[in-house]
Structures are given as C-alpha cells and as structure tokens.
Structure 1
Amino acid sequence: MILDTNVVIDLIDGAGSADFVARIAALQSRHSLVVNEIIFAEISSRYASADDVFELLSALRLRLIRLSLVDCHRAGAAFGVYRREGRSRTTILPDFLIGAQAEGQGWPIVTRDRKGFAKYFPKVDLIDPYEGS
C-alpha cells in the first residue's frame, strides 16, 4: 500500500485528526506502507539531507520501494492519454508515476486526491484516510 505525498505530509505535520492517525495506524498494522522516490523527492525540500529523509521514513515505519521501468512505461502511457485529452501540461505529473507503480504492484493508494488517480488508474483501490472505514 503506497501513501501519496499529501498523506505523508499530514503525518509529518501532525495535521490529521485523531481518527486520521488511528486509520493510518490500523492500515499499518495490516499492511506494509510504502513510498517511492517521487514521494521522497516531494518531501525532501523540508530536510537538509537525504539521510534526514531516510531517518524520517524509518521513524514513520515507511519503506522506500523504487519504481521499475515497467512502472515508468505505464505512467508514460497514462500521461499520453492525459495529453490526448488536450491537457496542456508537457512534463509528466508525479501522480502518474505513483499511480502506475500502485497499479503494477496491485497496491491501494492512500490519498486525499482520489479524483485524479481514479480517472487514469481505475483499477487501483483508493483509500481516503479522512473518511470512515
């Protein structure tokens, strides 16, 4: 199960309610929670070094799982659909890489942004940690 950057930031900042924290703890008791190098990069601006980010991930009990080339290809294919729909963004969006990896691994995504993932990765289960079980 992969955590989207917005959920990791909420964990770091302590922004979630007690229910949010309990839901993440419940997920963590049943599943390995992971991030990839895209999420690592997105949270890195808050820290002085990569070692600091690794320490944070360890403290949160999050594993770093790298993207495969197949994941990258899947992301590129989804991004191609996005571009053919007339979208103006010309560089790949991080969510395409996160969604592609989740789809390839069969992982749900824990995110506050279900709409964006649902459109391009409809096979992926999406979990909003702010909603009830």
Structure 2
Amino acid sequence: MMTLIDTNVLLDLVTDDPNWADWSIAQLETASFRGPLLINDVVYAELAVRYKRIEELDAFVNAAGLDIQPIPRSALYLAGKVFTRYRKSGGSRTGVLPDFFIGAQAAVSGFTLLTRDIGRYRTYFPTVTLITPDA
C-alpha cells in the first residue's frame, strides 16, 4: 500500500508539535511497514517554507524515507474540477487549493492519504482511504 503524506503530518515532526508529533510519528512508522511513503510537488513546496536551504529540506525528505511523486495530469484536472465545485458551494479561497492537488492525486493514483485534515478530503474525495486521528 502506498501512502501519500499530507504536509501537516510532516510539519508535526519538523516543528515537534506538542499535540501531534507523537501521533504523526507513530502513523508514519506504521504506514512505512505497509509500503512506500510518498509526497508530491505541492507537499515539497509547502515544506520548503520551513527550511533555509534546499539541501536541508532534501536531507529531511531522505531521512524520513519519502519518495517524491509528481502529480499526474489527470489529478491536476480533477483538482481543478473539484475546487470549482468547492467554490460554488461557498468554500473560501484562502489556502485550500494545495489540499485539492493532494486529494486528487490520492484519488487518481489509488494512494492512501495520511492527514489530520479530514473534512475536505472526506467531502470532495470520498473514494480515498484516509488515515486520520479519528480513524
């Protein structure tokens, strides 16, 4: 089973979040036994804001055992369509488009998604298997 890792889970490690770091570490370890841990270009870019140099970010990605998977065109298309539906239903514009790229890639590629952000993924990508705090 391939698991796509959402940015919030990785930031829990990077920031040593007092509420979530232990949960995120445990989930990453469990997922790693089931198969590869993946991130996409969007997650990589979101992580980049926490690092001064690309070499530091790459060292974290390598140490965490993450494989970077480009987002397929079909997922980019799906993300745009689902985001349009989200906006038409009154969703805010601020900071949510990355979630749609991540969710669409998981949906199109058949990846399990490890995340703490549940609502939008369950609503807009109901076929994606989620690993979440309430699972």
* TM category, shorter: 0.7 to 0.9
Displacement of 1:52 after TM fit?
Answer: 2.0
Q: Distance in 1 between matches of 2:25 and 2:100?
A: 26
Match of 1:9 in 2: 11
Match of 2:127 in 1: 123
Gap regions ≥5 residues in structure 2: none
Q: Distance in 1 between matches of 2:59 and 2:79?
A: 28
What TM-score do you get using the length of structure 2 for normalisation?
Answer: 0.86
Structure 1 residues 47-62: aligned runs within 5 Å: 47-62=51-66
Q: Distance in 2 between matches of 1:55 and 1:107?
A: 24
SS in 2 for 1:34: strand
Displacement of 1:86 after TM fit?
Answer: 2.9
Cα RMSD of the aligned pairs, angstroms, is 2.0
Ranges of 4+ aligned residues in structure 1 off by more than 3 Å: 16-20
Q: Distance in 2 between matches of 1:24 and 1:70?
A: 27
Structure 1 residues 38-77: aligned runs within 5 Å: 38-77=42-81
Q: Distance in 2 between matches of 1:42 and 1:79?
A: 19
The aligned length equals 131
Please say which of residues 99-108 and 17-26 is displaced more in the overlay: 17-26
Gap regions ≥5 residues in structure 1: none
SS in 2 for 1:116: helix
Structure 1 pair 53–81 and aligned structure 2 pair: CA distance change class (3 A) = same
CA deviation profile, 1:81-119 (whole Å, cap 9, x unmatched): 112213342886100000000001101110111111111
